[in-house]
Structure 1
Amino acid sequence: MKSNSAKFPHSFRKPLSSTTGMTRIALGISTAMLMPMPSFAADDAAQNKEAEMQAVQVVDTAIDPNPNAEPDVPYKARTSGDKRHVKPLAETPQTITVLTAKQLEDTGRTDLRDVLQAQPGITLGTGENGNAFGDRYIIRGQEARSDVFVDGLRDPGMTVRESFATEQVEITKGPSSTFAGRGATGGAVNSVTKQATTDLDFAKLSGGIGTDEYHRLTFDGNRVLTDTMAIRVNVLDAYQKVPDRDPADRDRSGAAISFLWKPTDQFNLTADYYHAEANDSPDLGAYIDRTTGKVIDDVPVYLQDEDFLKSTIDTYTLRASYQASTDLRIENLTRYGTTENGYLATGYNGTRLSTHQGWQDVEYFANSLNMYLDQQIAGMKHQFVFGVEYSDHSVKNGTYTTTPTTYTVTGSETDWQSLMNRSVVKGGKDSDWNVRTVSLSAMDTVDLTDKWTVFGGLRYDRFDYNNTVVDRTLGPIEYELEDGLWNGHFGVSYKFLPYANVYFNYSTSSDFNGGESDVGASCGYGGICVPSGTTTEERRNMFANSKPELSQNFELGTKWDLMDRKLLATAAVFRTVKSDVMENTTGNAYSATGSINTGKYRIQGVELGLTGKLTDKLTTQFGVAVMSSKILESATAANVGEGLSNFPEKTASLLLSYALTPKFTFGGGATYSSEKYSGEPESVAATSLEVPEYTVYDLFANYKVSKQLSARVNIGNVTDEKYYTAVYRSGSFAYMGDRRNVRLTLDYSF
């Protein structure tokens, strides 16, 4: 275990009692769950011990606590965790990729960032000034860092996201503002959390060790307290040095508690608490030589002793469900959460060390009420979903004052980690972002016949936006906007075989100026877009007159639920057009165009998927996306016809698992990405700064030692490929993927 004091300033560290107190509570509960419950039937058993028993056959069957899982198909989910998708996934007319807990376990990936990076159509991005608050995703070429949801509610701000309390991860492709609200242009990510259940008791303790000082300890236990109550606890403690980049490291801990109360068959109430901490030493990786446009290899590990990346997350969730009748169900989800983020990272361009830093405090409240109503109207089955949602999201961003901020490299350095010796003091905020939203939505899925289904939905988001941004020249500027956004979706599907359908889907999404919470007035990264060289009042007026960006998606696809629902094959062609795109501009340019919304681009492609059992012994999840992008309109004429930045045209992933015997399973995976180019998100690609293509191979093996004990070996990046996952717009740093690593994990179930 690393020493925190060497890298994390005492003035920013929480008192030790806060973290250890939470850990002790969680460990205390989990320990109590391991103790046997008293047997109140002992006397009856003794009295009947001579009773003649009939022989029964006991079948060793693994029970999956995930209610969305497809039975006996470990990589395949049957339904979405978002119940607004009323049809099974095989009949849902949209590209949705679901990653189950078993698949995450086999791949050995634990960060949501690493999980998503390996999926087709998804890449990673970097933030303004090396913003390292947390994970940044790009789905189908479009920023999705604010389109991350937990159990259907938006998870605002930037943070490091772990998977220890995750049941499955769902990736929805294409605009989906009817479900997600504003944004969600390229798609959205929804993490479905582990919930308590009264169906069964179970507990699993997992411990892992590996190269690079890796260790990971997790506990997942569910205890049925009574016929109506249950509790589930998940605990995490993990650490590793970044492979081949020591002393860069990742230090994670967390706990999640879920309590279920079911006083009747019709009503249930669940209360959840989630806590997670990250305390990392960040590495900004390599850099691109601007004269050659190529990534420089063999860059030394230059992070400084005082560098840190911290994230502390606390969320409280209360959910209630009431089955009023066989046709009517009402569900309510309420959540309050806070996140504290901060980072100090060092960059290196071959001659100079630079400082990148910032802090962020997030506080949010949300309540979502949904009513599900099934009705027969004119002989047709309607599945209505009516929703009302309120959210209040506040994000404060600020900076640290550091001295010095740079260091000139002489070439004679030996102790790279102690060159700058910076003093670090937390400074004031430079943006105070808040948006309150009231949303109304209505959806209907209509079975016209046993083969034809029509679906549609409409959503209205009324928002009240306020953001005070500190301009270096003009000082604090308050931007205010109150408006509404209409979005919808419509489509039709035809089931031409009992197990196959073809569908067409049209959907929209939209977002307002300054919708991203972490970048203040940085237009190129989703912050407030106003022309430079203008006065405070002019900027306010131009901001108020800007139009929302609008995305429209057309998708034609087919889904085949084969082999008795054990194998799902999907294919889709799509075209997404985003108009009224906001572009960086100056006061003079604005005078010529009269608008900030001068951009328009198109993304189109095809995506294929295959998930489930190919045979009784061979299981797979495969996906490939082939896409192209083109800028159609721009205030800069030279950009028209060019492609987008951070946009690999070809991506693919493959995971195979083969059960050689009932006890021994082995497999592997491959992840491929073609080359991409740097630049600001959703802007013209800087083709002179290239991130090369890569293919990464992984291997794993599972052995069931006994009914309760199993062992798993994961080898990540078997060929020790040197590859890069994201690059800053100027090429001044390029994030490195993990080099070869080996891990051994023991799972004990009881």
Structure 2
Amino acid sequence: MLPPASARTTQCGGPAATDASPSPLLRTGAALGLSAAMLAPLQALAAEEAAPRPSNLAPVTVEAAPIEPNPNAEPGVPYKARTSGDERHRRPIAETPSNITVLTKPQIEDSGYTDLRDIVDAQPGITLGTGENGNAFGDRYIIRGQEARSDVFVDGLRDPGMTIRESFATEQVEITKGPSSSFAGRGTSGGAINSVTKQATTDFDYAKFSTGLGTDRYTRTTLDANKVLNDRAAIRANLLYGYENVPDRAPADRERKGIAVSGLFLPTDRLQVVLDYYGMRARDNPDLGGYLVGTLPNRRPATNVPVYAQQPDFLNSDVDTLTGRIRYQISPDVRITNLTRVGKSANGYVATGARGVTTDPSNPGGVYDTASLSTHQGWQDVDYVANQTNLFVNKTIAGKKHEFIFGLEYTDHRVVNGTYDVNNSGENCIVPGRGGTSPGWCITDASGAPVNGLNTIMNRQITKDRWDLDWNVKTVSLSAMDTVKLSDTWTAFGGLRYDRFDFDTTAQDASLQTTNFQYSDTLLNGHAGATWQFRPDANLYFSYATASDVNGGESDVGTSCGYGGICIDSANNVGIASSKPETTRSIELGTKWNLAGGKLLATAALFQITKHDVMEQAPNSTGYSSVGALNTGKNRVRGIEFGLVGKLTDRLTAQGGLALMRAEVLESNVAANIGKTLSNFADQSAYAQLRYQATGKFAFGVGAKYESEKFAGQPDSAPGYTASGEYSQPIPSYTVFNLFASYRVNRNMDLRLNVGNVTDRDYYLAGYRSGAFLYKGDARNAQLTLNYDF
């Protein structure tokens, strides 16, 4: 393998070669019979002609570059992707008429992030949320104010279930901003996340071994190896082991084990077959972070919160998927592809939450401020089958070149949710609650010191209990898209998708009584727009897109209507049969500039997303009831987003963006919600990562993430607020800096140092609607990684 970009200069030059044979002038004179005297001037001229002359050849610079196994990469620009991993995007990223942020493997490695949640959350326009009752299953994304936890895809197929997702087998991560139901189906109101996996190639053998050590008992080892079996077969394997304490929050910890194997077979010149297996085992002792204390205007996160996670706590996620891909080139202008995936995952958690309280006077310790502990738990088993077939046809009609894509997709997703039987004992204080005072577990004593044995204080005994929700959705989808070249400068695009789904879900209560919910419906969504290539390296585009989501579309929350569960109409207690799908409409005006010979992409986009017919949780006299209000909500997000990725100079590489947005509730069954912002929504967010290649061997860089203040609450709704209209659960703004540096030891080995949260800032990613707990960002941490290329 060639070493990474360390330039070597070879000087080509030296004396010109001489010819020992007589000059052609002398040979000609002799043939004419000229005398010696007459030949003398010719001899002098010949001698001058034969004299050595200095070479004027210019130096040749040979630059060594690493082998790049990612077929979508921009050559020579490690942070920039040229094309999408989803082949339904027919144009390069710089010409695709939508806002797509692509994060490449080198950019992800430099950032120091490994879990998909951290990778995605760093990007502008995206925040995180919490679930009902502190649901800790996995990643919960909010894109442009819209819930997107079920809008995660792997190689263009939906990845259902609330799993923990890792990047060890990821080639690039693609974040599409704005509705994309014509590509992705139900949901995707604010956008979608697509993880493009590492695939085998017959181009070359490749192997990279990485191992790292760091603070907080950090260790991480990966292997990425591609082996060419022959000119028609190859295999690629990726392995992972990782462990660390949550920085500054031990005994909370994280463990990751993974394997991904890809096999490529080329039976004929026209036929390509790829088989993939992905397996992941995540084992965490989860830390639910801090909590809010005080009253407005001084309500804020509590400081110096001890680690209260209990030793028996866990957050486990097991994932196994098998994917087959077939591609057949029928003719130069027609090809067909098929993707089939069968997968299952088993997820479960028992986690400890904390909320600020003042103990009751009857407590022997007296009256003092502390925090009491609570239990949050659940399990989820996921089984799914997906099959997607796409027919690509290039055809000229009436002198215009069309690029058609016709799609057929079938998905069968089943998710069984359940509970754990958790028995706690050893209460040490009396705390207030909704039903009055009761015994509880306080984490500090009257002096403010953590109580003895805090991490085992609840004496937990855990067993797996019954299921409470059996969620099933089967969908058949048809789609058609076209990109047509209207002229040298104008391109039009459009697409339609029809989804027919059958929803069949059964809920089981504590007395084992079951309630079945069944209904069927159709969704029709599309996108349309145009691109004007007003100069060779720049375009202006306009797009209009729609999306739809179904009642009960989130599989993890049962009948919790306000969090995307099944919404039951309190008026007729039927609900889902009479509900309409939630619908989203988006308009976007954007521009893309592919500068510096394709090495730098600058983008800007103005957008508006309006969501109609939103399902809302209906309030009652004591708070929020378990029933809902059908299609009573409407909200809107307006904003502008800027992006930049690529080489600013030969030595300086950048990736980042800025999102300035405003959200507003336009309609609600609660009049006081109207005019307010959306929950867990940041008006401003930004990210920038810069890498400077100081010498051929040494590079260093910085990453900076900013997020403005946001307020906790339910998805698609206004945050909590007081009687005077002030938001009651504020989550402070923050700026976090990360540093990294790399050194090329030799052509096969390099070292990389990452320092996360270098200023050791306390910051919070998301909050529960009551402020009872706040997900806390990692404290300062450092890792040193050795990479060796075979």
2:197 corresponds to: 193
Residue of structure 1 equivalent to 2:92: 88
CA contact 1:530–1:584 (8 Å) conserved in 2: no
Q: Take 2:234 and 2:371, find their aligned partners in 1: how far apart are those partners? A: 59
State the match for 1:467 in structure 2: 505
Cα shift readout 1:31-63 (whole Å, capped 9, x = no counterpart): xxxxxxxxxxxxxxxxxxxxxxxxx99752222
- Structure 1 residue 477: Cα displacement: 1.2
Q: How far has the Cα of 1:473 moved from its partner? A: 8.7
Q: 1:470: how far off? A: 2.8
Alignment partner of 2:322 out of 313, 316, 324: 316
Deviations 1:626-645 (A, max 9, x none): 00001111111111111111
Equivalent pairs, count: 688
Partner of 1:120: 124
Aligned to 2:548: 510
Structure-1 separation of matches of 2:443 and 2:416 = 38
Match of 1:681 among 712, 715, 723: 715
Q: What is aligned with 2:371?
A: 351
Aligned amino acid, residue 590 of structure 2: G
In structure 2, the partner of 1:704 is: 744
Instruction: Give 1:549's match in structure 2, choosing from 559, 572, 582.
Output: 582
Check whether the contact 1:492–1:504 (CA below 8 A) recurs between aligned residues. Answer: yes
1:671 paired with 2:705, answer yes
Residue by residue, what CA displacement relative to the aligned partner does 1:470-529 show, whole Å, maximum 9, x if unpaired? 356994211001111000000011000011000100000001100001100001110011
Write the letter of the residue equivalent to 1:340.
A
Correspondent of 1:409 among 436, 442, 453 = 442
SS at match of 1:84: coil
Pair 1:287-2:301 in alignment: no
Kindly indicate whether the alpha-carbon contact (under 8 Å) linking 1:452 and 1:493 is maintained by their aligned counterparts in 2. yes
- 1:731-742 superposed matches below 5 A: 731-742=771-782
Percent of aligned positions that are identical: 59
2:595 pairs with 1:562: yes
Runs of 4+ in 1 over 6 A off after TM superposition: 586-590
What residue number does 2:696 align with?
662
Look up the match of 2:630: 596
Cα shift at 1:324:
1.1
Which residue does the alignment assign to 2:360?
none
Alignment of 1:610 with 2:650, yes or no, is no
Task: Report what 1:361 is aligned to.
Answer: 381
Alignment match, 1:377: 397
Q: 1:241 to 1:594 in 2, by over 3 A?
A: closer
1:188-239 C-alpha deviation (Å, 9 max, x unpaired)? 0000000000001010000000000000000000000011110000000000
Instruction: Please name the residue that 1:24 is paired with.
Output: none
One-letter code of the match for 2:126? I
1:675: how far off? Answer: 0.4
Take 1:290 and 1:372, find their aligned partners in 2: how far apart are those partners?
60
CA distance in 2, matches of 1:189, 1:531: 32
The letter of the residue matching 1:574 is F
One-letter identity of the residue aligned with 1:615:
T
- Contact between 1:530 and 1:585, CA under 8 Å: does it hold in 2? no
Contact 1:205–1:747, Cα closer than 8 Å, also in 2: yes
Please name the residue that 1:64 is paired with: 68
Between structure 1 and structure 2, the one with the greater Rg is 2
Q: Which residue in the other structure is 1:400 paired with?
A: 420
Partner deviation per Cα, 1:554-590 (whole Å, 9 max, x = no partner) = 0000000000000000000000000001111279999
User: CA separation in 2, counterparts of 1:290 and 1:304?
Assistant: 26
Aligned with 1:584: secondary structure?
strand
Are residue 585 (structure 1) and residue 605 (structure 2) matched? no
Partner SS, residue 114 of structure 2: coil
* Deviation digits for residues 143-171 of structure 1 (CA, Å, limit 9, x no counterpart): 10000000000000100000000000000
Q: Tell me, yes or no, if the aligned pair for 1:585 and 1:596 is still in contact at 8 Å.
A: no
Query: Residue 303 of structure 1 aligns with which residue?
Result: 309
Counterparts of 2:695 and 2:194, CA distance in 1: 35
**Does structure 1 retain, via aligned residues, the 8 Å contact 2:145–2:681?**
yes
1:90-111 superposed Cα distances (whole Å, 9 cap, x missing partner): 0111100000000001011100
- 3-state SS of 2:249 partner: coil
Is the 2:589–2:606 Cα contact (8 Å) retained in structure 1? yes
Contact 1:78-1:88 at 8 Å conserved across structures: yes
Partner of 1:15: none
The residue type paired with residue 588 of structure 2 is: E
C-alpha contact 2:252 2:287 (8 A) present in aligned 1: yes
TM-score by length of 1: 0.90
In structure 1, C-alpha distance between the alignment counterparts of 2:373 and 2:64, rounded to whole Å: 59
Q: Which amino acid aligns with 1:700?
A: F
**2:176 matched residue in structure 1:** 172
| 8 Å contact kept, 2:261–2:278 | yes
Query: Residues 363 and 394 of structure 1 are in contact (CA less than 8 Å); yes or no, is this contact kept in structure 2?
Result: yes
Contact residue 688 and residue 705 of structure 2 kept, 8 A:
yes
RMSD: 1.8
Is 1:439 aligned with 2:477?
yes
2:48 equivalent in structure 1 = none
- Aligned partners of 2:441 and 2:457 also within 8 Å: no
Uncovered stretches (5+) of structure 2, i.e. residues with no partner = 1-59, 356-369, 428-439, 446-450, 721-726
Greater shift, 595-604 or 215-224, is seen at 595-604
Residues 523-570 of structure 1: CA deviation (Å, up to 9, x unaligned): 1110011145x7xxx43x322001100000000000000000000000
The unaligned stretches of length 5 or more in structure 1 are 1-55
- Corresponding position of 2:559: 521
On the 8 A contact 2:618/2:629 being kept in 1, the answer is no
Conservation of the 8 A alpha-carbon contact between 1:699 and 1:714: yes
* Superposition TM-score, scaled by structure 2 size: 0.85
For the pair 1:645 / 2:679, whether they are aligned, the reply is yes
In structure 2, which of residues 657, 663, 668 is the aligned counterpart of residue 634 of structure 1?
668
Name the SS for the 2:736 alignment partner.
Answer: strand
Judge conservation of contact 1:531–1:584 (CA < 8 Å) in 2: no
Aligned CA distance change for structure 1 residues 339 and 414 (closer, same or farther; 3 Å): same
Cα distance in 1 for partners of 2:628, 2:408 equals 37
Q: For residue 77 of structure 2, give the secondary structure of its aligned residue in structure 1.
A: coil
